[in-house]
Amino acid sequence: MDEGAAGGPRRAFVLGGGGALGAHEVGMLKALFAAGIRPDAVVGTSVGAINGAAVAAEPAPAAIDRLADLWTGLGRAGVFTGSLLGRLTTAVRSGTHLYAPGPLDDLLRSHLPVSRVEDLAVPFQCVAASIEKAAEHWFEDGPLIEAVLASCAVPGLLPPVELDGEHFVDGGLVNSIPVSRAVALGAQEVYVLQVGRVEHALRPPRLPWEVALVAFEIARRHRFARDMAELPGGVTVHVLPSGSAQETPGPLGQLRHRTFGRTAQRIEAAYAASSRYLDAALAGPGGGKPPQ
């Protein structure tokens, strides 16, 4: 591992949350690997924890095929699909969520080749929100699947994940694009993989249902904006473009079956846009092929 400040990782990949839009991150990973850029550490939130765990397990182009298959599986395996009656039945029985966690658990176990965080090929961390502590919690070791499920437990859609008597929900509630974590670990070169939201300015709500969506987006984005404004000297951050038109469905809309059907288009759009960005970045002052 290349070491940065205080012996930490020199280069980190940061993968943000965003439901089905997380397929954009797969295209960004494809572009990074094509440019010869590999991570020394990976941090992720929510769906970025899924993508991050996969790339930390195999930080090489072969991981792209694994992730493309996993993303296709998210739609066809019933992870966030099923009949209205089935969702209502789950909601009535649970009182808190629409989907059972079993299909996602099974899909992750079939696509992630190790069972513990510390057994991944490169250091990996993912974040979840602790209900009892009302704070972010970083999983640095221990059972991998449980950590990723905790980071992905969208309130109202999936149940909280209980670990050692503590309950965890989606990490996007507390740190949607965790640049600050990569910096705290000592990274000096950070590549941000995001789903496209931060590329577009918010506008005031005009319709009743837009009020909650705009509030949710402010909550998602404010910490990332602060982290970017407070970067320490010597740290370079690359925010890779998604190559997408603005996609702003609400949390439920992002998880409908038809949105997973656009996985291939999202991967290729992000790959093309991020490839152009990296070509320009590497050709600029001080550019050239990054050290491996």
**DSSP string across 199-251:** GS------SHHHHHHHHHHHHHHHHHHHHHHTPPTT-EEEE-----------T
Query: 15-51 in b/e burial notation, b at 16+ Cβ within 10 A?
Result: bbbbbbbbbbbbbbbbbbbebebbbbbbbbbbbbbbb
Distance CA 77, CA 75 (A): 6
Question: What is the pLDDT confidence band of residue 60, given thresholds at 50, 70 and 90?
Answer: very high
Question: What is the pLDDT confidence band of residue 291, given thresholds at 50, 70 and 90?
Answer: very low
Distance CA 250, CA 269 (A): 21
Segment 240-289, tens digit of pLDDT: 999 976 554 444 444 443 466 688 899 999 999 999 999 999 886 544 44
| Single-letter residue type at 52 | G
Tokens read off for 119: 């057994």
| Single-letter residue type at 243 | G
pLDDT at 106 over 80: yes
Provide the 3-class DSSP secondary structure of residue 138. strand
**189-193 and 236-239 beta bridge pairing:** parallel
Question: What is the pLDDT confidence band of residue 5, given thresholds at 50, 70 and 90?
Answer: low
Question: What is the pLDDT confidence band of residue 158, given thresholds at 50, 70 and 90?
Answer: confident
Who contacts 260 (Cβ-Cβ below 8 Å, separation ≥6)?
20, 23, 71, 72, 74, 75, 76, 80
Tokens read off for 291: 């050290």
The mean predicted confidence, pLDDT, of the chain is 85
Strand partners, 43: 14, 125
Task: Judge whether 79 and 51 are in contact, CB under 8 Å.
Answer: no
pLDDT of residue 249: 46
Q: What is the DSSP string of 58-118?
A: --STHHHHHHHHHHHHHHHTTSS---HHHHHHHHHHHSS-SS-SHHHHHHHHHH-S-SBGG
Task: Judge whether 98 and 89 are in contact, CB under 8 Å.
Answer: no
